[in-house]
């Protein structure tokens, strides 16, 4: 009997989740910002809007002109204790392209912890294992440990597939579980 209770409690503990952002038609996007390669002289152009259905629409053009090649969507918030969570989870509808998911322990930190997903073109739930996210800076892997999974202060999505391309990613919500 005791082992059954422990299994049930373990299942309950593993089902804990936290919503980082749930988009709606009234969502406040003031803590979201688009950062394109124009900060380094590039010509990419991304934007964020809300659809009539209340989803975020992150879309634009990535250009390799002037050594460019990326667009990113960033969400900053007060540092959160994320030690009880194992995954970043996103509900998205993409365009079949590869996207990078990023997390930072401190918004001022230069390194981001990164993993990737390729969208299917349909609504899907993407699960990114936190402790498998690797430290990077400007596209280069750093000789540091993987994401410690203790605190988070920024979440980002980046597209930079080393080619000129348009993109469109619809986002319903972002959670931790």
Give pLDDT tens digits for 130-171: 999 999 998 899 999 999 999 999 999 999 999 999 999 999
Answer whether residue 8 shows pLDDT above 50. Answer: no
For residue 166, being part of any structural domain is answered with: yes
Contact call for residues 91 and 169 (beta carbons, < 8 A): no
Three-state secondary-structure class, residue 147: coil
The pLDDT value recorded for residue 14 is 52
3-class DSSP state of 44: coil
100 found inside a domain: yes
In the chain, pLDDT over 90 holds for what percent of residues? 85
pLDDT at position 38 is: 93
How far apart are the C-alpha atoms of 152 and 23, rounded to whole Å? 20
Residue 60 falls inside a structural domain: yes
pLDDT digits (tens, 9 = 90+) for 81-113: 999 999 999 999 999 999 999 999 998 999 999
Query: Which one is predicted more confidently, 37 or 12?
Result: 37
Q: How confident is the model at residue 39 (pLDDT cuts 50, 70, 90)?
A: confident
CATH number, domain at 163? 2.60.120.430
Q: Does some domain include residue 12?
A: no
Q: Is residue 4 part of a domain?
A: no
Predicted structure pTM score: 0.89
**Sign of the alpha-carbon dihedral angle for 96, 97, 98, 101:** negative
16: three-class secondary structure by DSSP: coil
Total domain count for the chain? 1
């Amino acid at each position: 009997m005791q082992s059954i209770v422990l299994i049930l409690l373990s299942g309950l503990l593993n089902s804990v989740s936290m919503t980082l952002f749930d988009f709606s038609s009234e969502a406040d996007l003031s803590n979201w910002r688009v950062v394109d390669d124009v900060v380094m002289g590039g010509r990419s152009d991304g934007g964020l809007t809300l659809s009539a259905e209340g989803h975020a629409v992150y879309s634009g053009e990535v250009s390799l002109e002037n050594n460019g090649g990326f667009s990113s969507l960033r969400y900053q918030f007060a540092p959160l204790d994320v030690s009880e969570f194992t995954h970043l989870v996103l509900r998205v509808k993409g365009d079949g392209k590869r996207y990078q998911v990023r997390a930072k322990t401190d918004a001022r930190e230069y390194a981001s912890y990164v993993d990737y997903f390729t969208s299917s073109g349909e609504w899907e739930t993407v699960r990114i294992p936190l402790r498998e996210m690797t430290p990077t800076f400007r596209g280069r892997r750093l000789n540091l440990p993987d994401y410690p999974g203790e605190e988070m202060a920024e979440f980002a999505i980046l597209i930079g597939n080393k080619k000129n391309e348009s993109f469109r990613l619809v986002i319903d919500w972002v959670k931790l579980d």
